[in-house]
A and B are shown apart, each in its own frame.
Chain A
Amino acid sequence: MSVAAGGGESKIDKTKLTMYGLGGGVLGIYLAHVLNMVTGTGYFSFLAGLGAIAAVLMGADAVRRVCAYGIGTGVPSIGMMAMGMGLVAAWFGLAVAGVAGPIIGIAIAMGFGYFVGMLANKIIKMNIPVMEEVLMSLGGAGAMVIIGLSVVISGQIGYQDMLNDVVFTGYIAIVFIAGALAILQPFNANLGPDETQDRTLVLAISTGALGMFAAGIGSLVTVGVGGAVLTMLIAAAIWLKAFLWFFKLVKRDSSGVVGTGLLPEGGL
C-alpha cells in the first residue's frame, strides 16, 4: 500500500460490503417501485434513495481499495469512470428489460467493469491486482446509484416514465454528478497516510445522503410535494447524523482539532 495515497487496513471486509451494497441497492430500488405502485403514491421514493446510499458505500470502499495503490489525483477520474460505465449500462438495462431493468443494468455494468479492468491490466499492463474486481464493484455501484436516484425522481421503474421524468427534464445532470461526487468524495476527502476505513465510509453515508437530497429536489415536480419532502427530510436527517459521526471520528483520528493556534512542529 502506498503511504502517500493512504488506505489503511480494512475493518469491514470487502465481500461483506459488496453484498450489503448490492442487496441494499436492489432492495431499495424495488421496494420503492412496488410500494409506490401498490399505494398509488410517491411517498416511498425515499427507499430508492436509501438503496443509492448503500450503493455509494460499496462504491466508496472500492475507490478506496484501488486508490490505495497510489492513484492520488486519479480519485475523481475513477469516480467519473464508475458513473460512465453505470450510466450506459443502467439505461441500456432499463430500455431492454422493463421492470427487470435495474438487475440487468447492474449485471451489465459489473461485466463492463470487469472487462475494463482486464483491459487495464492485460493490455495497458497497469498490473494492479485488484483492478478487475474493483472496477466490477464500481460499475455495479455506479449503475445502482444512477438507477436509485432516478427512481427517487420518477417514483417507479419504467423506461418511458423515467425518460420523461429524468432525462427530458434534464435532472439526469444532477443524478450523474451528485452520484459521482458521492462515490469519489469520501476517499478523496480523506486521502492521506492516516486514512481509516470507518471515517471514509461514514463520509460516504453523508455524501450519499446529499445525493439523495439533490434527487429529492428534482422529485418535487415529478412525484409530488409529499413524497419529495419526505425524501428530503430523511436525507437531511441521515446527513446530519453522518456528519456528526464523521466529526467525532475526525476528533478521534486527528493530531489535534483546535479552536485556533500557531503551527506545531512538523511530524518529520
Chain B
Amino acid sequence: MDMVSMGLLAAMGALATIAGTSEDLESDVGSQSNPNSQVQLAAQVGHTHRIYNKAISGEPPSNALYAALAAVTASVLMSDPYGMNAFFSIAVGALVAAVFNGILSMTSYMGRNTSQARFNQHVYLDVLRSHTTTIMAHAYITAFCVVAISYIMTAPWLPIQHPFPLPVIAFTWGIALGAIGSSTGDVHYGAEREFQQYPFGAGLNAANSGDIVTKAEAGLRSSIDNAWFCAKFGGPVTGLAFGLIVFLDNWRTTIFDPATQGWYAILTGILIVILLNVYNRILEIRSKKRYGPYPEYVGDIKA
C-alpha cells in the first residue's frame, strides 16, 4: 500500500461523505422517496400543504440517472476530440445532471399537486421557484462527488484502474448512494420531522397516515425548513454511512492486493460485517435499557 493509494482512499471516503449528506438533503427538500407517500396522502386526508412533492422515483434510480448523466457528459468532454481537463469536465457533467434534476422535480411538483385538484391542493409557483434551485444545488454536489469517486477508480493515470467504463461505475455508485440515502436518511425526515407532533420512535399508526405537520413555528412549514432540520443529523449520518461503505470497501482491497491476496480481502470484508453486526446489537440493547419501552406500551416489560 503506497502513499498515493492511501491518499486516494481518503479522498474517496471524504467525497462519499459529502455526496451522502447532499443526497439525503436533496431528497428531503423535495420529499422524495419513502416520506413522499405521506406528503401525497396529506391533501387526501384534508391537510393541504406547501411542501414540495418531488416524486421522480425511488432515490436509487434517480441518483443513478444524475450520476450516469454527469459521468457520460464528463467522459465525452474528456475524450479524444475535446480533451477537457477532468475537473472541469466533471463540473460541467454535474451541471447537466442538476438541470435534468430541476426539470424532473418541477414536473413532479406540478403534476402531483394538479392530480389532487379535488382536494384543493394548489400549485404554488413561489415554492417551485425557491425550492427547485435548492434541490438542484444539492444534486450538483452529489453528482460531482459521485463522478469524482468514479473517476478516481477508473482514471488510467491513477493506481486503481477499474476495468469498467466511467459511466457504468458512476451509475452503480448512484444506485448505491440512493439506496443508502433512502434507508438511512429517510427516517429522520419521514418519521421524525413530518410527524413531530407524535413521540419519535412510536411508529406510524395507520390512523395517522397523512397527518403531517404543515404549519411551522411561525407561518407555514416549507421544505427548506425540513432540510434545515435534517441537516443537523439525518444528512450527516447518511453521509457517514455512505462514506464508511466507500472507505471500508476500498480499504480492504487497498491493503490487500486483489490479484494476489484476494482471499484476505474477502475475509476482511466478512470480518467487518460481523463486527458491525455485533456493534449494532450492543447499541440496540443499550438503547432499550436506557430509554425503555414507550409510555403507552404495557407489554411484558414494565413501563
Q: Which residues of chain A have a CB within 8 Å of any CB of chain B?
A: 4, 6, 72-73, 75-76, 79-80, 168-174, 176-178, 180-181, 184-185, 188-195, 199, 203, 206-207, 210, 214, 217-218, 220-221, 225, 239, 243, 246-247, 250, 253-268
Residues of B within 8 A of A174 (CB): 65, 68-69, 72, 167, 171
Q: For the complex, what is the distance from the CA of A265 to the CA of B171, rounded to whole Å?
A: 43
Majority secondary structure of chain B interface residues (helix, strand, loop or mixed): helix
Contact stretch, chosen from B116-124, B192-200, B231-239, B270-278: B116-124
Q: For the complex, what is the distance from the CA of A261 to the CA of B104, rounded to whole Å?
A: 24
Q: For the complex, what is the distance from the CA of A16 to the CA of B239, rounded to whole Å?
A: 48
* A220 near B76: Cβ-Cβ < 8 Å: yes
A155 to chain B, nearest CB (A): 15
Q: For the complex, what is the distance from the CA of A203 to the CA of B106, rounded to whole Å?
A: 11
Per-residue CB proximity of B135-162 to A under 8 Å, as 1/0? 0000000000000000000000000000
Q: For the complex, what is the distance from the CA of A73 to the CA of B164, rounded to whole Å?
A: 32
* B72 near A171: Cβ-Cβ < 8 Å: yes
* A253 near B114: Cβ-Cβ < 8 Å: yes
19 sampled A-B residue pairs with Cβ under 8 A:
A76-B57, A173-B71, A177-B64, A181-B57, A181-B104, A189-B56, A190-B112, A191-B112, A214-B100, A220-B82, A221-B80, A221-B81, A239-B103, A250-B123, A254-B123, A258-B122, A263-B214, A266-B48, A266-B120
**Any chain A CB within 8 A of the CB of B134?**
no
Per-residue CB proximity of B38-49 to A under 8 Å, as 1/0? 001001111111
* A172 near B168: Cβ-Cβ < 8 Å: yes
Q: Which of B68, B114, B118, B123 has the most CB of A within 10 A?
A: B114
Interface residues of B in 25-79 (CB under 8 A from A): 37, 40, 43-50, 55-58, 61-62, 64-65, 68-69, 71-73, 75-76, 79
Instruction: Tell me the nearest residue of chain B to A224, going by C-beta.
Output: B81
B48 to chain A, nearest CB (A): 5
* A190 near B168: Cβ-Cβ < 8 Å: no
Residues of A within 8 A of B104 (CB): 181, 185, 189, 207, 210
Q: For the complex, what is the distance from the CA of A16 to the CA of B166, rounded to whole Å?
A: 41
| Given known A73-B37, A217-B96, A266-B119, contact A170–B108 (CB-CB < 8 A) | no
Instruction: Tell me the nearest residue of chain A to B93, going by C-beta.
Output: A217
* A214 near B55: Cβ-Cβ < 8 Å: no
**Any chain A CB within 8 A of the CB of B126?**
yes
| Given known A171-B72, A264-B48, contact A258–B165 (CB-CB < 8 A) | no
Residues of A within 8 A of B96 (CB): 217
Q: For the complex, what is the distance from the CA of A220 to the CA of B50, rounded to whole Å?
A: 41
Q: For the complex, what is the distance from the CA of A8 to the CA of B123, rounded to whole Å?
A: 20
Residues of A within 8 A of B45 (CB): 266, 268
* B123 near A258: Cβ-Cβ < 8 Å: yes
* A173 near B111: Cβ-Cβ < 8 Å: no
- Count B interface residues, CB 8 Å: 62
Residues of A within 8 A of B170 (CB): 173
| Given known A170-B164, A173-B68, A190-B111, contact A261–B122 (CB-CB < 8 A) | yes
Q: For the complex, what is the distance from the CA of A174 to the CA of B37, rounded to whole Å?
A: 27
8 further contact pairs, Cβ within 8 A, besides A171-B72, A257-B123:
A76-B58, A189-B104, A253-B114, A254-B110, A254-B114, A256-B122, A259-B125, A267-B121
A186 to chain B, nearest CB (A): 8
* A188 near B56: Cβ-Cβ < 8 Å: yes
**Any chain A CB within 8 A of the CB of B183?**
no
Residues of A within 8 A of B112 (CB): 189-192
Q: For the complex, what is the distance from the CA of A257 to the CA of B121, rounded to whole Å?
A: 10
* B103 near A264: Cβ-Cβ < 8 Å: no
**Any chain A CB within 8 A of the CB of B113?**
yes
| Given known A181-B62, A210-B100, contact A257–B107 (CB-CB < 8 A) | no
A112 to chain B, nearest CB (A): 21
Q: For the complex, what is the distance from the CA of A268 to the CA of B42, rounded to whole Å?
A: 11
Residues of A within 8 A of B282 (CB): none
* B46 near A268: Cβ-Cβ < 8 Å: yes
Nearest first, the 3 A-B pairs at minimum CB distance are A192-B115, A170-B165, A266-B46
Residues of B within 8 A of A194 (CB): 114-118
B250 to chain A, nearest CB (A): 20
Residues of A within 8 A of B123 (CB): 250, 254, 256-258
